[in-house]
Structure formats: structure tokens, C-alpha cells
Amino acid sequence: MAMTMTQKILAAHAGRDAVEAGELIEARLDLVLGNDVTTPPAIKVFEAAGLKTVFDPERIALVPDHFTPNKDIQSAEHCARMRRFARDKQISHYYEQGEEGMGVEHVVLPENGLVAPGDAIIGADSHTCTYGALGAFATGVGSTDLAYAMATGKTWFRVPEAIRIDLLGQLRPGVTGKDVILHLIGKIGVDGALYQSLEFTGSGVATLSMAERLTICNMAIEAGAKNGLFPVDDKTRDYLAHYAPERVAMNDFTVCTADDDARYARTIAIDLATIRQTVAFPHLPENTREIGSFDPIPVDQVVIGSCTNGRLEDLRLAAHWLKGRKVAKGLRLIILPGSQRVWREALKEGLFEIFTDAGAVISAPTCGPCLGGHMGILAAGERCVSTTNRNFVGRMGHPKSEVYLAGVPVACASAVLGRVAGTDELDA
């Protein structure tokens, strides 16, 4: 029975030799994740069911990141409830504000060595699919599924079929992984991969950095996909050696490759060299346009950060484009490093000086404005270019505000020029 990468990981976790698309299976989980928005309802469910213990305190990660540092009293109560639960159940991977390892969930879990190839992970957050970049099966669920998984270490899945994305060639300078995923979503639509896996393959994979693969998998959900998945190669191994040395030392991971004769719902070939800097217009990630193909659009705010583009590589890229330049008069540039670790490294490398000189404000590691929480909410009529992942109505504030999704280079050029712009338009 020929299988895709996803199917192989699911089969292994269901204790089966093979599974096929459409089958319902119960799978063992290597890691279960919740945040400060989704965990409190899960705790309510957990306690209402009379449950007392979690399946394994080492295999649960609870990350306060959405409305932290606490934005109001109700958020503070939610965080307090999660903190008490974590303490009570002796959850090892709970990361308090300011602590080593804290930050935005999908930035910190891979950085903290909690994700390795072949893992099966669920998280009560739709962007849990990020971890597919490391060759793991990871998908988002709701709070009730989180409660059940925290108690049992298991969940049920319908085995997905896959779309194979053949990446060929190499990206042009100034074009990033974010442009790749926006391009793909523009091509197949926000439900183009509904209930399916997006499995990336081809010679172009080796040219993409781990940060870019994390960005690409992060937005698999924006095409409706259940998960995104990259094969494991030398870059994955280098990343693991750096961030997950213990799992490498214990040989505690499994590399799954798709069978040559695995069946796919369809195959889409993308020549990376043909992708241009891309922007998703309001109010859907599929409304993509290439830079240069639209009239000037003035911008009030630019946000760089989030689980999509808040990694050290993203901040280095931002510094590259902002160095010696100034943010346009009257525009707010908000930079949110994705984790305490990213924050520290960026500080050490002198990136903050470049950002500050450019006129940016640097925030604490938090999801903050991405989901309209705090730290950069938009007023009616305001426009924001953001490196985040969603541009739905009201996503970052007032329902009459607008979000334009883009990669870091476009965000920087837009901040400097005060309009949605590509880096080609910046003075040398």
C-alpha cells in the first residue's frame, strides 16, 4: 500500500502498517499544545468531565502568548487559570512571560526542541500546522479535542489525501518563502486544499531555509489544508542539531518519505524563479496580487512578527532592508520578535539599533495585533501591511480597517515608502 508522508506518520501513530485516505483512525500523540485563548475552555471541559490527571506532563505544552502580557482583567483571569492548571498538573513546557523559552507558540516549540521529524502533534490553534516544516504531522483542533488529548494522549483523525507541490528552481533575490505560500494560496484558493495535506517536494525544497519552510507550513491552513509537510534534508538536520540536540543524541525521531507510487489528489508544479513579491489584499489570503500590478495604496501601519514571520531570520531580513532608512512620516512600524530567544539574539546582533534608528517600535514577544488582541489595533479606515497570516474583516481591529499580507521585504519597503510597495522601489 503506497503512502504519502502524512499517511506514513499517521500509520506509525495508529500502530498500523498502512492507512489509506478517508479512513478514521485513533492516533497516539507525541505533543499536545494549548494557548491562553484555547486552554481555559479546555480546562473547563477537563474538570467538568471529572478528570484529574494528564496523560504525560512532559508531552503537553501550554503557552501564554495571545493576549499576553495580559491585555485586560479577563485575559489576566484566563492566563491565571492556565498557570494554575500548569502548576497543578506539573506541565513541564509552560513558559512564563520573560522566561527562557517563552514567546509565540509556533516560534518557541521548534526552538525549544519539542518538534522532530515523524512526530504527531495537535494544538488548539489553527497554525499548529507550522511544524510540518520539520517533517512532523501537526494540525489544529479545538478546545474539547485539546481536553480529551491532554487526558488520553490520543485523538482521532480522518486520514487525509494529499496535494503534492513540486517546487523547482530557486527564488529570486528579495522574494521569500512568504511569497511562495501567498502565491500558492492565490492559485488554489482558501479552500483549495480543504481536508487535505499539502506535501512539498522537488529540487527547490533544498533552496528554502528552515525559517521559510516554517512560514510556508504555517499558512497551509489558509488554503484549508489539514497539514503542510516538508521532507527531511540536511537543512532539517542542521536545524535539529542546533535546536533539538537531545532528540538528535537519543536518535529520537523518524524520517518518513513518501512512497514513489503514492497517490495524490493532484500535483502542482511551481517554478520558484517565476514568483514575484506578492501581497494578499483584504479580506482573504487568496486575494493575491504581485507587486507592481496595482495603483498606490497608502498605509498607516506595518507589522513585522508573528508565528508566520517572527523568527531571527525574519528580523535579520528586516534589518537588511531598514538599515540606513527611515519609516515614512506618520506611519507606525511595529516589530514583534517571536520569542525571548529571538529577542535576545536580535539585541545581541545590533538589530534593535537599526530598527530604532529607522523609527520602529519594538514590542514584547506576543501574538498581539495579529488577531486584533492588543499592541497595534487598527482604527476604522486604517490600512496595515502585515507579515502575519490572516486579513479577514476586523482581524486586526475595526471591521472597516484593512490588512495587506506580505513578506518581510515588502513590509519594510511599505514602511519606508508609506504605501504598499516592493523593495525594487527603494533607493539603493
Partner 1 sequence: MSIQGHVFKYGANVDTDVIIPARYLNTSEPAELARHCMEDLDATFIDRVQPGDILVAGANFGCGSSREHAPIAIKASGISCVIAPSFARIFFRNAINMGLPILECAEAAEAIQDGDQVSVDFDTGRIVNLTRNQTYTARPFPPFIRRIIEADGLMGTLRQMQGKGE
Among 64, 174, 372, 409, binds partner 1 (CB under 8 A): 372
Find the farthest-apart pair of alpha carbons in the chain and give their distance in angstroms, rounded: 64
With contacts defined by CB under 8 A, name the span among 7-15, 43-51, 179-187, 299-307 that binds partner 1: 43-51
Cell of 91: 506541565
Give the count of beta carbons closer than 10 Å to the beta carbon of residue 264.
18
Cell of 120: 504527531
Output the smallest distance, CB 420 to partner 1, in A. 21
Cell 517536494 locates to 201
DSSP per position, 197-249: EEEEESTTGGGS-HHHHHHHHHTGGGGT-SEEE----HHHHHHHHHH-HHHHH
With contacts defined by CB under 8 A, name the span among 130-138, 188-196, 205-213, 250-258 that binds partner 1: 188-196
Output the smallest distance, CB 231 to partner 1, in A. 23
Give the count of beta carbons closer than 10 Å to the beta carbon of residue 185.
27
Contact assessment for residue 107 and residue 33, using Cβ atoms and an 8 Å cutoff: no
Residue whose CB is less far from partner 1, 139 or 309: 139
Q: Is 131 in the site for partner 1 (CB under 8 A)?
A: no
Output the smallest distance, CB 82 to partner 1, in A. 12
Residue whose CB is less far from partner 1, 236 or 306: 306
Contact assessment for residue 228 and residue 129, using Cβ atoms and an 8 Å cutoff: yes
Among 29, 37, 185, 291, binds partner 1 (CB under 8 A): 37
Residue partners of 168: CB distance under 8 A and separation at least 6:
202, 203, 204, 269, 270, 271, 272
Q: How far apart are CA 278 and CA 26, in angstroms?
A: 39
Q: Is 130 in the site for partner 1 (CB under 8 A)?
A: no
Residue whose CB is less far from partner 1, 168 or 377: 377
Q: Is 38 in the site for partner 1 (CB under 8 A)?
A: yes
The one-letter amino acid at 256: C
- Restricted to residues 224-263, the positions that interact with partner 1 (CB under 8 A) are 224, 226
Among 245, 298, 350, 399, binds partner 1 (CB under 8 A): 399
- Restricted to residues 192-231, the positions that interact with partner 1 (CB under 8 A) are 194-195, 221, 224, 226
Output the smallest distance, CB 390 to partner 1, in A. 6
Cell of 118: 515523524
Among 21, 31, 45, 121, binds partner 1 (CB under 8 A): 45
Q: Is 125 in the site for partner 1 (CB under 8 A)?
A: yes
Helical H segments across 282-382, by residue range: 306-309, 312-322, 340-348, 351-358
Q: Is 78 in the site for partner 1 (CB under 8 A)?
A: yes
Among 191, 259, 271, 357, binds partner 1 (CB under 8 A): 191
Output the smallest distance, CB 14 to partner 1, in A. 18
Q: Is 347 in the site for partner 1 (CB under 8 A)?
A: no
Output the smallest distance, CB 126 to partner 1, in A. 4
Output the smallest distance, CB 369 to partner 1, in A. 10
Q: How far apart are CA 139 and CA 302, in angstroms?
A: 29
Query: What element of type H or E holds 75?
Result: helix 73-88
Long-range contacts of 233-241 (CB under 8 A, 24+ apart): 233/205, 233/206, 234/206, 235/206, 235/208, 235/209, 235/210, 236/117, 236/134, 236/135, 236/210, 238/210, 239/110, 239/134, 239/210, 240/116, 240/117, 240/134
With contacts defined by CB under 8 A, name the span among 5-13, 36-44, 250-258, 338-346 that binds partner 1: 36-44
Residue whose CB is less far from partner 1, 50 or 324: 50
Parallel, antiparallel, or unpaired for β 154-158 and 24-28?
antiparallel
Residue whose CB is less far from partner 1, 35 or 236: 35
Cell of 336: 514583534
- Restricted to residues 258-287, the positions that interact with partner 1 (CB under 8 A) are 284
Among 8, 59, 66, 332, binds partner 1 (CB under 8 A): 66
Output the smallest distance, CB 71 to partner 1, in A. 8
Give the count of beta carbons closer than 10 Å to the beta carbon of residue 293.
10
Contacts with partner 1, residue ranges (CB under 8 A): 37-38, 40-41, 44-45, 48-50, 66-67, 71-72, 74-75, 78, 123-126, 128, 140-145, 147-148, 190-191, 194-195, 221, 224, 226, 284, 371-373, 390, 392-395, 399
